[in-house]
Structure 1
Amino acid sequence: MSIADVADRLLTPECKAFLSLAVVDADGRPLGLISRYALQNIFMLRFGRDLHGQKPAHSVMNDAPLVVCLDTRLEEAAQQVTSQLTYPITEDFILVDGEGRYQGLGTVLDLLKAMEKRVAQRNAVLRRALVDLKESQAQLVQSEKMASLGQMVAGVAHELNTPLGYVKNNVQLLRELKQPLLQLADTHGALLDCLHAADCDEARLAAALGEAVDAREQAAPELLKEDLQQLFSDTLYGLEQIGELVVGLKNFARLDRAMSEDIDLNDCVRSALVIARNNIKDKAEVTLQLGELPRMPCAPSQINQVLLNLLTNAAQAMERCGQILVKTWADDAAVFISVQDSGKGMPAEVLARIFDPFFTTKPVGQGTGLGLSISFKIIQDHGGTIRVASEPGRGTRFLIRLPRAQAPNLQESA
């Protein structure tokens, strides 16, 4: 068959949908591919039919066409075709069965459209998975916050119970001590009434006076004065402790303050220590070395959450009563907070995963493994860094660095 015969077959209105013509042998195996574009390039030339029309068809045939098996997966077919594709796209590819026999033609554009549709479907699945992941992440973060809140409330409740206990005991004791005083007041009132009464005789006056003397002996006001002074002092001290805890809790949560504000980070350290006091007091002695710090923009409630987590972890790392050292200092660019304990420390394999979500060395039911992960994210949102150094038997040190300029993600985080 000549080039002209092939052109007459392909370049007709009826065949305008076909781009190429496969050439197969008697067994149906493809020998090559004659592209519609190759013929157009010939016959668009002046005298193209006269010059090239009588040449054999194989002279314009591509004898190494793209061949794809029908059983090939769509992704693999696309990779196979695109890896051999040349631009501009002028050819189609041949489809064969498992035995290599010709089964039809495929167009690159249709393949790309199919791949685009497949990618769109997978993107939709990934978007749904991302939404589900974010929802799960939010639920887990909320769960960790509730667990931390539960520990914090339990600690504060325990701290409140001690002063409340002796305030209550003092009030009950005052209630008991008031009875002799009230009795003394009543007998003195009866004696005064008798003295002012015109009909009060000597016997009645003597009886009233005797009752007053007995009541005074029962009340013993000269001894009661010192007891009452001590009771009132103890009660006021207990109420001051309760007030300190309430103010510390309010400052810790910052419920009445802006989500982001300029603050002295030493105030955050003190607030976190008040809330963590119950978890620390029987396990470690806290030493503060607080330097003079500039006020800087941050989300105080989030910084408090990080410090509470570090202090609680430090206390839990103590196998016996130890030391916790909290230091703060600043330079021209940043503010630093160091929390160092004398606990059991961590081996290298634990240290490498310390900020991984869900990683915990605590027994089941005693930790979610999200505390340090959330703390890392909070410091990161503030534009800062949190680093850790530890050695088994020598304790652990966390170092927080926060830039003095507000981080771009701070408002969103807050």
Structure 2
Amino acid sequence: MTDPAPEPTASTESPSEGPVTGGQRPAIHRRISTQLYASIVAAVALTIVASIVSWISFNNVDSSQRRVSEESVPELAGAFSLAEFSSALVAAAPRLTTAPPNQFSAISDEVGAVQEAFNEQFEPLTVENPDNPHVQGIARAVDSLDANIDTITADMPQYFILTRKIESLQANIPNLQGEANSILLPAIDDQLFFQATGYRDQESARTNVITRTSAEELLLYRHLNALQADVAQVSELMGSALIASTAEFVEPLQERFESATDRIQISLAAISDMDIAPELQTAVGGLLGLADGTDSPFVVPIDRLRIIERQGSLLAQNQVLAEELLDEVNALVEEAQAGADQATENSAQTISTARILLIIISAVGVTGAALISWLFVGRLLLRRIGRLSGRMRTLAKGELEEEVEIRGQDEIAEMASALEVFRRHALEIQRLNLVEELARELGERNDELQTVLEELGQAQDQIVAREKLAALGEVTAGVAHEIRNPLNFINNFSAASDELLEEMAEIMEELAEHLSEEQKTLLEEITQDLHDNLGRIQSHGKRANRIVQDMLLMGRGGGEAQMTNINDLIHEHSLLAYHSARAQDPEFQVTLEEEFDPDMGEVEVVPQDLGRVFLNFVANAGYATNKKQKELMEAGTVGDYAPTVVLTSRRTDDKVILGVRDNGNGIPADVVEKIFDPFFTTKPTNEGTGLGLALSNDIIREHGGTITVNTQPGEFTEMVVEIPLTQS
């Protein structure tokens, strides 16, 4: 960093053009503002001269234009106004036919106003030119248009009434059909259920096969189905009639409707003994009643179509009249235009003279402006301002070494002097910023070192935890082998003791006659207590044996890797887990849904080990959904909850993704981190060992894969397994 540049010195070119110091203002005659004011005064003087010349020229143009306005333009304006109102009159009929009901009155008033305005505009022409053939043709066309518009105006209220009736029928038909179907469809389902199972409802006894499959029951089911189909047909026929495009299309629909109505009456008579017959008769009668009277779906559309046809005929006639009217109006416009052209030609010569004078004045003004722009603005102002602006941009980029040099004794030189002072101050600030930047970088390096130190500590903790788990696996395998022998003795001798008790019970039966009632009762109680105690010993012995078996499986694999169909493996072990849970709890229920990738194929895995993983996953998922259902049943809020376990599989280019998702209560956030720890379980003491997920995690890691837990408390839990296709 160099020292600040010295103060700028005065230019050697001329003593009068040196830089201006910050405290000295330039002389009045050298200021830019004085020179600009002088240029503006000159421009204003030139403008005044141009205005005087223009005033004289425009007076001449005005006298010529007044002759055009007073003689030719009124006639032309009248013709154009008549053409404008003619177009509005021609468009009146289509506007009436397409007007919405809520706007028809306003549009009708607008059309009436157009008719009155046309007559007011047309009346002077008939007075001034009664024998003009174009005026007579316009009068005939207008009379016919007015008559057609009056007819359409009179028809539209009836058209709107018929349209509202059609909209009402279109809304009522689906409602009445739905009301009938709400009675018919449950009745059809109940009849079909009765014929299939023999039960009318949950309270009644089951009916034998002969009765529920009799001809009467089958005929009743056929009548219900036929009634449902006929109700749908009559609704469709009425709906089709409402949207018919021609009146001839409605008559065959009405005939089919009457035929369907007869079939409905026959079906209603056939089911008259059913409980639903009165209610169904009312619902179907309401639907069929729509076809009665003058508001029938087969009458209203025909009336509206007749109005539409009449309006179409009138619109076609109006189109022909419109062409005649426009031809006559255009002829009037052409006559008026010819007169206006002649008058305009007379004023064109006057305008030409004024144009030449204005061109001369404009040329003088442009030349003066060019001289001012080139000599004063370009050379004196813009060039020096551009140099000052460029120097300011270099200062903004941080280039502070070069001095600011702008010669002169005006405001620009004064700004250059102030910018030089700013440059010197910026050099001092730059030195201070450099020190602050070095301090900030040093702080960032310290933060990075602290982060690396924390990451090293976390890595050390993970290595220690893995060593502990490895040591725990070795100790667990040794302890399990040592515990198995005494467990076998406990299980075997408890079973033998139970058999001895049975033999003793047989001997007691032989000696029963030598014992008193009190002794018999006492011996039976003692025998029962021994049976119960031995049962508890066997139960806890088996549980301890399962724990030992799981501990042994944590230390060794379950077979050799081989090509295995993953979808079949998951399917078989999920069914095994389901039937195992059903054997322990007859009330256990869960729905297994499979969303397997059909292109999964075979993958090289250890099938025994991977099957054990999904056996654990499905068992845990079934346990969670069953527990949630019991809790909801106890609370009386089960609603539509259904225990469900979804099994998924998907194959990508480099791995397979397998999942087990249940809709149980989920896993709390503080428990998720512990579920893979050995001996950790949230189940009761006699239902879980805490080794299933730990063993599953070891198996998946041996396959080179990972297990991810996705859960939301109260909603679901999903175990996702990812296994690479090529294992290292």
TM-score by length of 1: 0.37
The structure whose RCO (Cα within 8 Å, separation 6+) is larger is 2
TM-score by length of 2: 0.22
The structure whose residues are more often helix, as a share, is: 2
